[in-house]
A and B are shown apart, each in its own frame.
Chain A
Amino acid sequence: MSVAPALRCENLSRWYGEVQGLAGLTVTIEHGIVGLLGPNGSGKSTLMRLLTGQIKANRGWVEIYGQRIVPGTYEIFRRVGHAPGEDVHFETDRAVDFLRFMAALGGDSTSQAKDRAEKALDRVGMLVKAGVKLNAMSKGMRQRIKIAQALLFEPDLLLLDEPLNGMDPVSRRSTMNLVREWAGLGRTVIMASHVLHEVEGVTDRMLMLHHGRLLAEGRLTEIRELIDMKPRRASIRGENLRVLAAELLAQELVIGLDFGADGLLNLDTRNLPALLDRLQEAGIHGQIHSLEIDDQELEMVYDLLVGGSAR
């Protein structure tokens, strides 16, 4: 294994005309799983494309295992696997043909490519679907095929752009297990997502992008603490809510409340789990008819980090 870090970016910037895709990103990733978090348009896919040499940087540079990515770079991609975010394939191909083609482009002979393709399909649990055409597959299946092609050559650096999009819960879990196993062997995985709990399921380390800039870098536990400090809001409808509200205030489970239109009771709390326990109790007794929780975790993180201007 090379001593050079898996990834180094220095002042990496990219514009699309007047739109800023990525601005001055400086970051070093040694190994392990790193979550790349950000809402749509934050620059995650731009970064992925820059890392894989699909687009050129307007300023700055990027190195993968010490090799700078410039036009004409290709050898280093033996160590990189990339599953793009877009739902694109060679639509009329069967899954196995698509992977064989990708393997052949990596230098495999026909028989080697077939073996490698089948192994990769098996790894993502899609071997039984090897003969199915890609345009006849569900989005979740195609996502797994994309991951399979990224894993073809046992890459040291695995770049996954929104890999869990469109997957059912079982596929999500197996994909997350796969990512964890992959990184467990000392490799590096960068997983882009705009869903906080997806990233949280596989790693504690994250890079957070916002409007093309690096907003935060660190551990999710620290972010979690920030989130937990911020009041959360639960909105309920039901019967005798004034009595319930007084009780919650007395028990210090809420720090504030207000009655909205049509009898809606909004509760602000710093201890959401305890509040939910109490509300569950009330719900069993038929006192609560509906409950909504403000679950915009990622937006909340952005609010915290950029002082309420994220949206």
Chain B
Amino acid sequence: MAFRAAEYERYKGERTNRPAWVPIAFGTVQRGWKSKWVRRLSMLSLALGFGLVAMMYMVNQVMPSWREIAEQATNRATQGSGLKVDAGFYLILTNVFVRPILLPLALLFGYDLIASDMRTNALEAYFARPVTPLGYLTGRTLAFVSFLMLATFGPFFLVWFADIATSPSEAHTDLIRFVPISLFFALLFISFTLALMVQAVTSLTRSAIWSNLIFVVIFLFLSAMGMVLFQITDRPNMMAFSFLSDAKVICATLLGIDLADGGSPTNVSPAIAFSMMVGISIISFLIILRGLKRRSLV
């Protein structure tokens, strides 16, 4: 019996011109959002932001001059280094949104992002489509960074907006006018570095448990190491080992705050902090790209 393949008509319709990384980015957000803890942390961060806004609104209703009262009260308690609602106040807020939110969120969101694609050979499927390794990485990283920004910069912006909306004077408005722009770029830089670093580690380990462990070491052990080295050598630049310290210095620098403030410096210099972050980003980018290109068919 003679057999032949059934004839078929080739597709002649329109094809989309949308860049291939766009669906990857959407898929990344969907995948991250499926994690219960990612949802909880993001919601917690936004709830904190809304909580602060509500508190500021209520306090403002009762005591319109609460900023001065708070400053005077804390001045008395701390002998001159009281709480002033200016750029420094927003730097303090980074302790609320960067340490407890940004770092765990980055880990929870990204620890298995590329690793699972490598383990399950999904990368081959992506690269068999018109997706380049760079496009894949762009999609993943953009979604990752956007998510981190939403969870960290989002609440900052809410607080700042409430602060501006209830500003008692033009002078106060001037003090905090550029805070969101500075913080936006600072957090974008930190989130970008973090997103690349998380993806680089997971692409090397290809294992969720190993990635988690390595991250805990990077964030905790190296921070302690920086602190110990600073104590032993009296060189504040040793604090560069601490990712948290680098992040703090970057935020402070972009907010125009001098952390030493006349005294002896206890933090890494801005140039070194920026160099560390840029170095981490470049190395991470190269690690990921190498890992992806090894799996690429194009």
Contacts and interface: CB of A to CB of B under 8 A. Distances in A.
A and B touch in the complex (CB under 8 A): yes
Interface of A: 237, 262, 279-280, 282-284, 286, 288-291
Interface string B1-26: 11111110000000000000000000
7 contacts: A279-B1, A280-B1, A283-B1, A284-B2, A290-B3, A290-B4, A291-B1
Interface of B: 1-7
Contacts of A279: 1
Nearest to A281: B1
A237 B5 CA distance: 10
Contacts of A237: 6
Nearest to B5: A290
A288 B2 contact: yes
Nearest to A292: B6
B5 to A, nearest CB: 7
A89 B160 CA distance: 55
Nearest to B9: A262
A280 B5 CA distance: 17
B1 A288 contact: yes
Q: Count chain B CB atoms within 10 A of each CB in A279, A280, A290 and give the residue with the most.
A: A290
A238 to B, nearest CB: 9
A280 B3 CA distance: 11
A284 B2 CA distance: 7
Given A280-B1, A283-B2, A290-B4, 7 more contacts: A279-B1, A282-B1, A283-B1, A288-B2, A289-B3, A290-B6, A291-B3
A243 B1 CA distance: 18
A283 B7 CA distance: 18
A262 B6 CA distance: 10
Contacts of B5: 290
Contacts of B4: 289-290
B2 A286 contact: yes
Contacts of A290: 3-6
A262 B9 CA distance: 11
Contacts of B3: 283, 289-291
A164 to B, nearest CB: 23
A63 B65 CA distance: 78
B22 to A, nearest CB: 33
Nearest to A237: B6
A190 to B, nearest CB: 30
A284 B1 contact: yes
Nearest to B1: A283
A32 B6 CA distance: 45
A282 B6 CA distance: 18
A274 to B, nearest CB: 15
Contacts of B2: 283-284, 286, 288-289
A66 B3 CA distance: 56
A199 B2 CA distance: 31
Nearest to B3: A290
A301 to B, nearest CB: 27
Contacts of A289: 2-4
A284 B5 CA distance: 17
B40 to A, nearest CB: 20
Contacts of A288: 1-2
A65 to B, nearest CB: 39
B219 to A, nearest CB: 30
Contacts of A284: 1-2
Contacts of B1: 279-280, 282-284, 288, 291
Nearest to A289: B4
Nearest to B8: A262
A282 B2 CA distance: 9
Contacts of A283: 1-3
Nearest to A235: B6
A290 B7 CA distance: 10
A260 to B, nearest CB: 12
